[in-house]
Amino acid sequence: MKAYTSPAAEIVLVTSAVCLLLGSKENWDEAKKLMNNPGELITKLKTYDKDSMKESLLKKLKKYTEDPRFEPVSIAKKSKACQSICMWAIALEKYSIVMKVIKPK
């Protein structure tokens, strides 16, 4: 994905969501910096501290996940790698929603 000079809007949307979750600026240039070292990026995604996501971060993430273009099936047409990252972001959001219900019990 980092080789794209002008990526599809869906790819920018997904990478911006990842930048948000990883604490970077939400733009394509920052996303390319993250993708410069794919091994490190994958490690960050695998070891992401999903249990300590703040409510404010989840609200910001929701603006991405509620976008109709943030759909893994349609994103797969643009990039298979981006589809996987999109699914990861959606899974984090769903995990947080479930944990809100389960944790108090």
Q: What is the pLDDT of residue 101?
A: 86
Query: Residue 93 carries which DSSP code?
Result: H
Question: Does residue 3 lie within any of the structural domains?
Answer: no
Domain that holds residue 75: 9-102
The whole-model pTM stands at: 0.90
Q: Which two tokens stand for residue 42?
A: 């994958």
Question: Does residue 2 lie within any of the structural domains?
Answer: no
Q: Helix (H, G, I), strand (E, B), or coil: what is residue 46?
A: helix
What's the number of domains the chain is made of? 1
CATH number for the domain that contains residue 82? 1.20.920.60
Give residue 84's Cα distance to chain centre.
9
Q: Helix (H, G, I), strand (E, B), or coil: what is residue 34?
A: helix
Cα torsion angle, 73, 39, 24, 100, sign: positive
Question: Does residue 39 lie within any of the structural domains?
Answer: yes
Largest CA distance in the chain: 48
pLDDT digits (tens, 9 = 90+) for 71-84: 999 999 999 999 99
pLDDT digits (tens, 9 = 90+) for 57-105: 999 999 999 999 999 999 999 999 999 999 999 999 999 999 988 877 7
